[in-house]
Amino acid sequence: AATVTMPGVADATDAVVRLAVTGATSLDLRTRDSAGAWQSAFDLAPRVPVPQDKPLVSHVDHIALAVPAESWDGVMLLLRSVFGMVPRDGQDVVDAIGLVRSQALTLTTTNGTIRLSLNMVPGRPSDADPLPAARRGGVGHVAFGCEDIYAAAEAMTERGLTPLRISPNYYRDLNARFGLGPDTLDAMQRLGILYDADSAGGEFFHFFTGTVGDDLFFEVVQRVGGYEGYGETNSAVRLAAQLQQ
């Protein structure tokens, strides 16, 4: 793996090793003593105090990285052999620029689970026009985990988030597939919450922001009952709503 530099102040000690994943993305390996020093490389925006009983989100659930097609094999080898991440079954999902190959990898330790979702457009070189910058190798979206998806969506809407307008047909389909109650479906539709479930009884609730810039967006998720997927079946629904916003 190659090293990469970033703008701003970087640690001049052996406490940090920065590895390039793609030309636009890197991973920092840090000692515990330097865990808070990453902020020195950035100009932090002023924090706005918000009164609340507890945080709306509790952790980063996963990060989606765009990987150029020509770098795919090398990035997969790095994450699997160096970091010991375990791949899930790959998926082909619909994106604004066509069919995207998505590959999730996880690393579970005593401190929690790290999840990455790699996305690649098959057959598209990184310099192809009009490929957005994020698709040439960068962060596609960041998903935050929460303990109460409805409370998080309500509070964020009150603070100015505009929920994605999801087609009513989606919620009628949820009723047919999963038998969710009318009150639950009404709340989900009002807040733009999407849903998935697995064969083991695990459930997945999530909602998205609109896009920021070319195609960066954010997601808030709640996992119930050991659900390990990413709600991939909702990708086309999410995309349609974002394109309409």
d(C-alpha 178, C-alpha 48), whole Å: 40
pLDDT of residue 123: 67
pTM for this prediction: 0.85
pLDDT of residue 4: 46
Whether the CB-CB separation of 70 and 49 falls below 8 Å is answered with: no
Residues 26 and 87 in one domain: no
Residues 28 and 132 in one domain: no
| Position 66 pLDDT exceeds 90 | no
Nearest to 115 by CA among 102, 130, 101: 102
Whether the CB-CB separation of 22 and 71 falls below 8 Å is answered with: yes
**Does residue 8 belong to any structural domain of this protein?**
yes
**Does residue 52 belong to any structural domain of this protein?**
no
CATH of the domain at 88: 3.10.180.10
Distance of CA 145 to the CA centre of its chain: 10
Whether the CB-CB separation of 85 and 117 falls below 8 Å is answered with: no
Residues 146 and 208 in one domain: yes
Mean pLDDT of the chain: 84
Residues 7 and 85 in one domain: no
**Does residue 16 belong to any structural domain of this protein?**
yes
Q: Residue 47 has what DSSP assignment? A: P
Residues 31 and 93 in one domain: no
* DSSP-derived 3-state class of residue 191: helix
Residues 18 and 88 in one domain: no
| Spatial CB neighbours of 3, under 8 Å, sequence gap ≥ 6 | 17, 18, 19, 20
Residues 64 and 24 in one domain: no
**Does residue 46 belong to any structural domain of this protein?**
no
Burial of 57 (0-12, 13-18, 19+ CB in 10 A): middle
According to DSSP H, which parts of the chain are helical? Answer: 72-77, 149-158, 168-178, 182-191, 235-244
| pLDDT tens by residue, 150-202 | 999 999 999 899 999 999 999 999 999 999 999 999 999 999 999 999 999 99
Residues 2 and 70 in one domain: no
* DSSP run (H or E) holding 226: none
Residues 146 and 212 in one domain: yes
**Does residue 176 belong to any structural domain of this protein?**
yes
Residues 89 and 31 in one domain: no
d(C-alpha 96, C-alpha 113), whole Å: 29
| pLDDT tens by residue, 33-62 | 777 777 777 787 887 777 667 789 999 999
**Does residue 49 belong to any structural domain of this protein?**
no
Count of CB atoms within 10 A of residue 88's CB? 15
| pLDDT tens by residue, 130-149 | 455 445 557 889 999 999 99
Residues 221 and 146 in one domain: yes
| Position 230 pLDDT exceeds 70 | yes
**Does residue 29 belong to any structural domain of this protein?**
yes
Residue 66 backbone phi and psi in degrees, to 5: -85, 130
Cα separations in angstroms, 136 against 57, 67, 120, 153? 29, 6, 9, 31
Residues 187 and 78 in one domain: yes
d(C-alpha 139, C-alpha 119), whole Å: 10
Query: Position of tokens 């406490």?
Result: 15
As for how many domains the chain has, the answer is 2
**Does residue 197 belong to any structural domain of this protein?**
yes
Give the domain extent around 29: 1-37
